């Protein structure tokens, strides 16, 4: 079956954004490790080894050595080029371990338990504004997703699990509309293609301590496959802004670091992700305001670039990703009631089919901006 004009147009927007990195290779000089463009006046980028977060990351990434006075050049601390040496990522977090939580401070008194109190029969409705910006002025228009979060009902014919891994969750798209319109509006074909994402679902596991794992995407029947990266980015926002919680009472000022894995969908780069959550405020009703700082490091020097229906493996030799965000979490909520994350990424590749010894490098830069808000609230840029 041939893909219609509408699908080709909408899919081309996504694919062009992801493949824009292949343009502008420099034959003369290998550039330094890239830093992602912000595209905004607010700078979400942070130094790799800044402050307490940097010290915590150095400690976490050090294999068999003291911390946190690590030296990346000596094989300790976060990798200087953003890419773990072979075996180092596995040593930092074994693949058999979905995540780990390390306390950095318990905060001030009074301290409270942050244990979730989910009702398996409840439904949480939310709105997420998503924007993806790429280098070279490319990107996607901001989209407003209506979402319904529910615990997934087990299938009648499903085999019983060996051990409970948490609550199976489903975030279903109830609407998809442009959050902001360019002068003259977006082409109808593109608006219709985005609208056809309605009914798509994001599935994941929500552990007893609120940690997210096993994210997967199920496109609706009418959606074009070329728009899958949009849902991948939406799933990334859900994962970034859902706080995994410590098992001990904490107070205002408490900090902890969550380490887990994620595959960046733009170039199929597996990363080790570090998120440091800090409690800014605890309300009498149990709602908690957090700030969050993130870093991501590539597990290996391999990327897979999309090429139509196939993928082209290529060598990754520079990677940098950081972000900042905030959120409001309630013990009864499946997802944040409010929140925002700005996650930047810069990656440097050896272009596919480059001759041996080539100094050509292709650079990808992106900024993901996601915002949870109350349904019906005005979409702010």
Identify the band that residue 297 occupies on the pLDDT scale cut at 50, 70 and 90.
Answer: very high
Name the band, by pLDDT with cuts 50, 70 and 90, for residue 239.
very high
- Domain assignments of the chain as residue spans, ordered by start: 5-153+166-373
pLDDT band at 205 (very low <50, low <70, confident <90, very high): very high
Q: Model confidence over 71-101: pLDDT tens digits?
A: 343 445 678 899 999 999 999 999 999 999 9
What does the alpha-carbon distance between residue 220 and residue 162 come to, in Å, rounded to a whole number? Answer: 30
End-to-end alpha carbon distance in the chain = 38
Q: How many CA atoms lie within 13 A of 47 on its CB side?
A: 7
- How does residue 379 score in pLDDT terms, banded at 50, 70 and 90? low
pLDDT classification of 254: cutoffs 50, 70, 90: very high
Which residues, other chains included, contact 229 with Cβ-Cβ below 8 Å and sequence gap of 6+? 14, 18, 265, 266
Q: What is the pLDDT of residues 95-131, one digit of tens each?
A: 999 999 999 999 999 999 999 998 889 999 999 999 9
Q: What distance in Å separates the CA atoms of residue 177 and residue 197, rounded to the nearest whole number?
A: 10
Which pTM does this prediction carry? 0.81
Q: What is the pLDDT of residue 30?
A: 44
pLDDT interval class at 226 (50, 70, 90): confident
């Amino acid at each position: 079956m041939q893909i219609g004009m509408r699908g080709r147009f909408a899919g081309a927007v996504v694919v062009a954004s992801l493949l824009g990195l292949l343009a502008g290779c420099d034959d003369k000089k290998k550039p330094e490790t890239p830093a992602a463009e912000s595209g905004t006046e607010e700078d979400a980028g942070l130094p790799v080894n800044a402050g307490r977060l940097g010290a915590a990351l150095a400690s976490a990434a050090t294999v068999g050595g003291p911390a946190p006075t690590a030296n990346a050049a000596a094989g300790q601390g976060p990798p200087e080029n953003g890419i773990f040496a072979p075996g180092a990522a596995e040593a930092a977090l074994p693949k058999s371990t979905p995540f780990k939580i390390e306390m950095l401070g318990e905060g001030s008194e009074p301290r409270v338990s942050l244990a979730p109190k989910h009702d398996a029969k409840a439904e949480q409705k939310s709105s997420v504004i998503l924007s993806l910006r790429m280098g070279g002025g490319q990107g996607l228009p901001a989209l407003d997703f209506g979402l319904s979060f529910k615990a997934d009902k087990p299938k009648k014919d499903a085999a019983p699990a060996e051990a409970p891994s948490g609550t199976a969750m489903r975030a279903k798209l109830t609407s998809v509309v442009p959050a902001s319109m360019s002068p003259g509006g977006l082409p109808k074909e593109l608006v219709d293609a985005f609208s056809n994402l309605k009914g798509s679902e994001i599935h994941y596991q929500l552990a007893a301590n609120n940690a997210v794992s096993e994210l997967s995407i199920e496109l609706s029947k009418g959606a074009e496959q070329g728009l899958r990266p949009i849902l991948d980015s939406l799933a990334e926002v859900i994962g970034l802004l859902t706080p995994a919680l410590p098992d001990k009472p904490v107070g205002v000022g408490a900090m902890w670091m969550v380490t887990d894995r994620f595959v960046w969908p733009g170039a199929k780069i597996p990363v080790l992700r570090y998120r440091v959550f800090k409690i800014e405020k605890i309300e009498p009703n149990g709602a908690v305001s957090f700030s969050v700082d993130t870093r991501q490091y590539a597990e290996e020097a391999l990327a897979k670039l999309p090429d139509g229906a196939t993928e082209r493996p290529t060598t990754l030799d520079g990677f940098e990703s950081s972000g900042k965000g905030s959120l409001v979490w309630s013990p009864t909520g499946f997802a944040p009631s409010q929140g925002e994350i700005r996650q930047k990424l810069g990656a440097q590749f050896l272009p596919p089919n480059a001759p041996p010894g080539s100094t050509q490098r292709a650079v990808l830069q992106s900024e993901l901006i996601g915002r949870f808000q109350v349904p019906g609230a005005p979409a702010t840029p």
